[in-house]
Amino acid sequence: MESSVNRKNNQSLFVKRVRVKHSESFFVAVVLALFMLFYYYFTLFTENVDGAWTGVIVIFITFAIDFFIFYLLLKNKLLVGKSVKITLIFLSLSVISYFVTFSGVHRLLLLIMILFGAYLFVKIPVGFQEAKQLFWLYSVIIILILVNTATGKENALETNKFNPNSGGFLLTLLFCASVILAYKHKDINKLPYCLISIITFGLQFVFLSRTALFGIILFLVLLVLFRATKKTASFRFAFLSLFILSLAGVLVAYVYSEIMYPAIGHGKIIIFGKDIFSGRQTIWHFAFNSIKNNFWFGVGSHLNETQFNEGYYELIMNAHNQPIGILAACGIFIFIIFYYALSYFVASLYKSKKANEVKYNKIPLIFMLVITVMSFFDIYFMSLYNILPILLMFCILTGLGRLNYNGASKCK
C-alpha cells in the first residue's frame, strides 16, 4: 500500500514538474529579450569604437539566433508543405542577392529572423502565464533602455543610437500588451496594467514621436472595429490583409514624395509641432531613383551612397520606409517573397478549421497590421532596435490571444 501511495505521489510530482516546464518559444523569447538589452547598451557604450569588429559580433549573434530558431522549426517538423517551399525560395534568393551586391548580409539575417521567429511563435504559442512573465520581462528591459536618456548623455536623444522615435516605439509596444491584459482578462488584477497603459500613453507626449502615437491610435481603433479580443480571423483574410497592406507601403511613399511634395510641399503643414515634409520626401525620391536602376537585386547596403558622398546626411542611406527599404536593398524578388512569407506565416495562426482545436483572436494579426503601417515611415525589419521588440511583443500577444472553443477568452 505504501509503495502504491508513493508511486501516486511521485506521479503527481512529475505531472506538476511537467506543467511548469516552459515552451521552446518562451525560451527563444527570453533570448531575444536579453539580446535586445545587450544590443542597446552594446551600441551605446561602443558608439566611439571602430564599428568593424562590433558589427561582426552583432552579426555573429544574429546568425546564431537565426540558426537556433531554424533548428527548432526542423526539430518540431514545422517546416512542411508550402512553408518549406517558401523558406527555400527565400533563402536561395537571399544568397543570390548577396553575391550580386556583396553587401547587406546583416539585413538579410534580420529578415530571416523576423520570418522564422514569427513562424515559431505561431506554431508553438506561449501559454498565458508565460506571456505575462514575458510582459514583465519586457517592461523591466524597457526601463533599463529608456534610463539612458537620463544618464547625463546630452546627445542621447539626438544620435542614431537612441532617439525619440525609438523610445516612443518601445512604449507603443508596451502599451499594446498592457491594454490587452487590462481589457481582456477577468481573472487577474487589472490595476498594474491600467497604470502601465496610462503611463506609456502619457510618455508619448514626452518623446513626441508621431509614428508611435499614430500606432497607438490605430491599434485601439482596430481593436474596437474588428472586435479583436472576441473574434477570430480566417486564413484568407489574415493573409490578404497583411500582404496587400505591406505592398501598399511603396505606393504611400511614391504619392508622398513624387506627387504630394511637388504639389503642396513648399508650404508648411504642421502636425505635432513638425512639418509633415521633414526630409523623408528627399530620401524616398532618391530611393526610387535607386530602385529604377537596380530593380532586380537591389543595392545591398549602398542605398543613396552617391548622395551621401556628395554631402547629404548619413540618414539618407536609411530608406525610412520598410517596403521601400527591402525593395531598394534586395530587389523585387526578395521584396515579393518576403512579404508573401511573412503574411503566410502570420496567417498560419488562423489556418486550422477543426472545431475541437483552440482558436486565436485577431489581436496578433491586428498587431502585425499596425506594425506594417508604422513601417511605412521607418525601418522595422532591418533594424535590431525594432525587430527584437516586435518579435517579443508578437510572441506575447499570440500567447494572450487564445480563445476557448466557444469564443471565450482562455486564460490558462
Please give the average pLDDT of every successive group of 10 residues along the chain, which has 412 residues: 51 45 95 95 78 84 97 95 96 93 90 97 95 96 79 39 77 96 76 94 87 94 93 96 96 89 68 65 86 89 73 69 92 96 97 77 97 93 94 97 59 41
Rounded to whole angstroms, the maximal C-alpha distance in the chain is 90
Torsion sign over Cα 217, 337, 24, 142:
negative
Of residues 402, 389, 405, the one with CA closest to residue 122: 402
Can you read off the three cell numbers belonging to residue 344? 503566410
CB burial readout 355-382, b (16+ within 10 A) else e: eeeebbbbbbbbbbbbbbbbbbbbbbbb
**Side chain identity, residue 78:** L
| Alpha helix ranges (H) inside 226-331 | 235-254, 261-264, 280-293, 305-309, 322-330
Helix (H) or strand (E) holding 274: strand 274-275
Rounded-to-integer distance, Cα 175 and Cα 189, Å: 17
The whole-number pLDDT of residue 280 equals 80
The whole-number pLDDT of residue 408 equals 43
Torsion sign over Cα 107, 111, 112, 113:
positive
- Say whether 49 sits in a helix, a strand or coil: coil
Please answer whether residues 165 and 208 qualify as being in contact, where contact means their C-beta atoms are separated by less than 8 angstroms: no
Which DSSP letter does residue 277 get? -
In degrees, rounded to 5, the angle at the alpha carbon of residue 372 between the alpha carbons of residues 241 and 161 is 170
Of residues 275, 265, 281, 277, the one with CA closest to residue 316: 281
Can you read off the three cell numbers belonging to residue 112? 530571416
The whole-number pLDDT of residue 303 equals 82
Please answer whether residues 238 and 347 qualify as being in contact, where contact means their C-beta atoms are separated by less than 8 angstroms: yes
Full DSSP string of 290-307: HHHHSTTT--TT-TTHHH
Integer-rounded Cα Rg, in Å, for the chain is 22
In the block, cell 511613399 appears at 253
Please answer whether residues 173 and 389 qualify as being in contact, where contact means their C-beta atoms are separated by less than 8 angstroms: yes
Of residues 123, 211, 113, the one with CA closest to residue 170: 211
- Say whether 3 sits in a helix, a strand or coil: helix
